[in-house]
């Protein structure tokens, strides 16, 4: 979103001085369809940040009661 | 403040929509991987101590302030009675300071650990702080808890709730930097998947005139179903998570009753704790314990925003007239069905899905907002329209294209990640790596927390930007009494000896006795009302003299 806002003044300069309607912000659906791409990239990154020895780590996460 | 007349225009919020005095509470899961047997209460105290040390560096004179327990009433029941202390579960006695004094710590853990921990001047570990942003940070049972300052709208709750996650992060960093302490991780989740749950609570201010029975009838069908937009997702079913699979809510399997006072045992869908923390004959504080802690900003926003709308419906007598047959079983059936096709039976005989019920509430809320004008784009309250639009679009996606809601609805975001792993590596639901993904989703460290990895790739939508959240770590909201509390702590910390939701206590040299300033009206103590006073006075003495109308200090 921030990147789009920064680009708008540039594209206006190039086109014309008339008030062109601004591009509508990406709908949630469009954002999500972008999000379905690059899943492999994401998983590769997460592979690198997951704690080592998943089984032991999950087993050791024991909490006392709360509200 | 007490001298101001009732009912100034700035002290009322628009009625009928999503604006309301509200706040959040988050108990963080706590774990030291290198010291698995470490005592959870002691670790939690170290977390609070770490923040006290950090804020001492930030604010001259010390930003940490002790909690004042005078007005805590955890055994008052909204249905009109009070539980005998002797009949209460010990975990309900939250009105006594949980200070670990030196002797208790020494008995439990040995003197060496006490000395290594660094106790404060009075010889006891600090367990309770009031922060400069108006929040409370303390040890609750065996978890560190952040209670946000009071805000007036769902956008602000997202900011000040997420600020708590940054506070938690700061404490994790501080402990990790100490070579003498084992590193401590904090998780914004609600269960260890080994039969223990800890809460994320919401608080909403309501007029006391609304009958409690109306609240129970109006809220129960909504609470049974709102998880489809604000559940955080959980791997495993049953309290110990031993039945494999993925479900919508972290908390659903831990609820066993429809209405009740308890929060740690026999948890009820509607909690009746009646501690208003405000003028008791005017207000009740509705204490909601059924929600999941949310990292997703949209889920958090909708959780508070839609609940505020439903409370407005109840106050107006316009909540949908429906009643769910066996709501506890319905809550769990809905949580266990990620296809969103499970139905519950209404007492009128209809069988409906969670989405059907959410649409009934949406339609009623949109109608009321239109009648009262609060959703008007120009003359509305500036919040209700946006909450209604996001609620409507989210329900639409959940019904037609659930994958499209994976960038906003937290359980779907987490499920998309788990599905990614299952598809790539052919994992079964009970694979330990998926359990780790579920847990590490909520790690508060951005380099480790998987929610934050998704956020950094713009796979999660934002409601507020990072700068707003960072500001909320140090600045209080301007439009509630949290402003007064936070500014007192950050401006006059060394002269504030205690504070609570409805008071700030000063011990000022030259003013004989302790001065307790009551703040029982949540919409006073705002920047508009007290900002000039904070800007005018550099010392607590002069500030307090003008605030309380005391005689000026005699010439030295």
Whole-Å CA distances, B96 to B25, B45, B199: 19, 16, 20
**Neighboring chain B residues of A1 at a CB cutoff of 8 Å:** 462
The catalytic position among B68, B140, B381, B502 is B140
**Neighboring chain A residues of B193 at a CB cutoff of 8 Å:** 58, 61
**Neighboring chain A residues of B405 at a CB cutoff of 8 Å:** 28, 32
Q: Return the H-helix or E-strand segment holding B146.
A: strand B143-147
Instruction: Give yes or no: B140 in active site.
Output: yes
Judged by CB atoms within 8 Å, which residues 13-42 of A form the interface with B?
Answer: 28-29, 31-33, 35-36, 38-40, 42
- Which of B182, B392, B439, B445 has the most A C-beta neighbours within 10 Å, making it the best mutation to test the interface with A? B439
| CA atoms within a 13 Å half-sphere pointing along the CA-CB vector of B553 | 14
Q: Do the chains contact at B407 and A28, CB–CB below 8 Å? A: yes
Helices (H), B336-380: 354-372
How many CB pairs (< 8 A) connect A and B? Answer: 126
**Neighboring chain A residues of B450 at a CB cutoff of 8 Å:** 46, 49
Residue scoring higher pLDDT (A66 or B383): B383
Euclidean distance between the first and the last CA atom of chain B, given in angstroms as a whole number = 28
A7 belongs to a structural domain = no
Domain boundaries, chain B: 22-465, 478-548
Quote the pLDDT of residue B57. 54
A51 belongs to a structural domain = yes
**Neighboring chain A residues of B31 at a CB cutoff of 8 Å:** 60-61, 63
Quote the pLDDT of residue B509. 84
Nearest CA in chain B to A62: B192
CATH architecture label of B22-465: 2-Layer Sandwich (3.30)
Residues 6+ apart with CB under 8 A from B420: A39, A42, A43
Quote the pLDDT of residue B95. 64
- Which of A6, A34, A61 has the most B C-beta neighbours within 10 Å, making it the best mutation to test the interface with B? A61
Query: Quick one: how many helices (H) and strands (E) in chain A?
Result: 4, 0
Tell me the C-alpha distance between B461 and B514, whole Å. Answer: 48
A18 belongs to a structural domain = no
A21 belongs to a structural domain = no
**Neighboring chain A residues of B395 at a CB cutoff of 8 Å:** none
Q: Do the chains contact at B432 and A55, CB–CB below 8 Å? A: yes
A47 touches chain B (CB under 8 A): no
pLDDT tens digit at each of 556 positions of chain B = 333 444 444 579 999 999 999 999 999 999 999 998 899 999 999 999 999 888 875 543 444 566 666 666 676 777 666 666 656 666 666 665 544 444 444 444 433 333 333 344 334 566 889 999 999 999 988 999 999 999 999 999 999 999 999 999 999 999 999 999 999 999 999 999 999 999 999 999 999 999 999 999 999 999 999 999 999 999 999 999 999 999 999 999 999 999 998 888 899 999 988 888 988 899 999 999 999 999 999 999 999 999 999 999 999 999 999 999 999 999 999 999 999 999 999 999 999 999 999 999 999 999 999 999 999 999 999 999 999 999 999 999 999 999 999 999 999 999 999 999 999 999 999 999 999 999 999 999 999 999 999 999 999 999 999 999 999 999 999 999 999 999 999 999 889 988 999 999 999 988 878 899 999 999 999 999 999 999 999 999 999 999 988 877 665 4
A63 touches chain B (CB under 8 A): yes
Q: Do the chains contact at A67 and B199, CB–CB below 8 Å? A: yes
Quote the pLDDT of residue B117. 37
Tell me the C-alpha distance between B509 and B505, whole Å. Answer: 13
Q: Do the chains contact at A28 and B448, CB–CB below 8 Å? A: no
Quote the pLDDT of residue B7. 43
Whole-Å CA distances, B10 to B244, B249, B546: 52, 38, 22
**What are the pLDDT digits (tens) for A26-38?**
555 555 455 455 7
A11 belongs to a structural domain = no
CB B290 within 8 A of CB B223: yes
Quote the pLDDT of residue A3. 40
Quote the pLDDT of residue B93. 62
Nearest CA in chain B to A28: B404
Which among B275, B274, B279, B21 has a CA at the least distance from the CA of B150? B21
In chain A, the number of structural domains is 1
CB nearest B264 (choices: A28, A43, A67)? A67
**Rounded to 5 degrees, what are φ and ψ at B30?**
-130, 135
Report ipTM (2 d.p.): 0.87
Residue scoring higher pLDDT (A12 or B210): B210
b or e along B498-537 (b: 16 or more beta carbons within 10 Å of the residue's beta carbon)? bbbbbbbbbebeebeeebebebbbbbbbbbebbeebbeeb
CB B359 within 8 A of CB B393: no
Look up the domain containing A49 and give its range. 36-61
The C-alpha of B545 sits at a distance from chain A's nearest C-alpha, in angstroms, of 41
Q: Do the chains contact at A42 and B457, CB–CB below 8 Å? A: yes
A40 belongs to a structural domain = yes
């Amino acid at each position: 979103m921030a990147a789009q806002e920064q680009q708008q003044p540039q594209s206006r300069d190039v086109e014309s001085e008339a008030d062109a309607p601004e591009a509508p912000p990406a709908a949630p659906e469009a954002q999500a369809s972008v999000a379905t791409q690059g899943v492999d990239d994401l998983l590769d990154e997460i592979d690198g940040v997951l704690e080592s020895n998943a089984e032991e780590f999950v087993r050791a996460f024991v909490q006392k009661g709360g509200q | 403040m007490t001298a101001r007349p009732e009912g100034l225009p700035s002290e009322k919020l628009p009625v009928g929509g999503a604006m309301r005095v509200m706040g959040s509470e988050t108990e963080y899961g706590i774990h030291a991987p290198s010291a698995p047997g470490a005592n959870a209460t002691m670790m939690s105290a170290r977390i609070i101590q770490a923040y006290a040390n950090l804020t001492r560096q930030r604010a001259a004179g010390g930003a940490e302030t002790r909690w004042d327990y005078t007005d805590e009433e955890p055994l008052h029941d909204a249905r009109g009675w009070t539980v005998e202390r002797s009949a209460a579960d010990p975990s309900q006695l939250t009105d006594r300071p949980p200070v670990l004094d030196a002797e208790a710590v020494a008995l439990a853990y040995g003197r060496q650990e006490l000395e290594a921990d660094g106790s404060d001047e009075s010889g006891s570990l600090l367990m309770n702080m009031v922060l400069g942003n108006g929040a409370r940070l303390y040890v609750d049972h065996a978890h560190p808890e952040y209670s946000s300052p009071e805000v007036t709208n769902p956008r602000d709750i997202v900011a000040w709730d997420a600020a708590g996650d940054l506070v938690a992060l700061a404490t994790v960093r501080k402990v990790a930097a100490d070579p003498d302490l084992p590193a401590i991780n904090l998780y914004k989740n609600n269960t260890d998947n080994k039969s223990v749950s800890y809460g994320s609570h919401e608080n909403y201010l309501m007029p006391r005139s609304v009958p409690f029975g109306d609240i129970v009838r109006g809220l129960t069908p909504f609470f049974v179903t709102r998880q489809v937009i604000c559940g955080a997702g959980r791997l495993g079913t049953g309290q110990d998570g031993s039945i494999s699979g993925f479900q919508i809510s972290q908390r659903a399997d831990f609820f066993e009753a429809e209405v009740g006072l308890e929060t740690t045992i026999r948890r009820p869908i509607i909690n009746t704790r009646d501690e208003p923390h405000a003028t008791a004959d005017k207000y009740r504080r509705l204490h909601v314990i059924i929600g999941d802690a949310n990292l997703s900003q949209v889920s958090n926003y909708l959780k508070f925003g839609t609940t505020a709308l439903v409370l407005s419906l109840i106050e107006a007598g316009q909540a949908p007239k429906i009643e769910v047959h066996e709501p506890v079983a319905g809550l769990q059936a809905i949580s266990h069905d990620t296809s969103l096709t499970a139905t519950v039976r209404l007492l009128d005989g209809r069988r409906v899905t969670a989405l059907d019920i959410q649409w009934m509430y949406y339609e009623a809320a949109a109608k009321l907002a239109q009648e009262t004008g609060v959703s008007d784009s120009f003359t509305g309250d500036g919040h209700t329209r946006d909450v209604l639009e996001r609620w409507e679009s989210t329900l639409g996606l959940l019904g037609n294209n659930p994958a499209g809601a994976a960038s906003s609805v937290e359980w779907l975001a987490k499920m998309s990640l788990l599905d990614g792993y299952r598809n790539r590596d052919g994992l079964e639901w009970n694979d330990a790596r998926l359990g780790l993904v579920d847990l590490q989703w909520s790690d508060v460290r951005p380099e480790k927390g998987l929610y934050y990895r998704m956020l950094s790739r713009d796979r999660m939508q934002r409601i507020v930007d990072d700068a707003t959240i960072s500001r909320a770590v140090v600045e209080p909201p301007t439009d509630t009494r949290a402003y007064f509390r936070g500014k007192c702590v950050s401006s006059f910390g060394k002269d504030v000896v205690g504070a609570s939701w409805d008071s700030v206590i000063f011990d000022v040299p030259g003013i004989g006795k302790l001065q307790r300033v009551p703040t029982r009206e949540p919409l006073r103590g705002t920047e508009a009302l007290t900002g000039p006073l904070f800007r005018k006075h550099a010392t607590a003495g002069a500030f307090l003299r003008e605030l309380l109308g005391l005689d000026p200090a005699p010439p030295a």
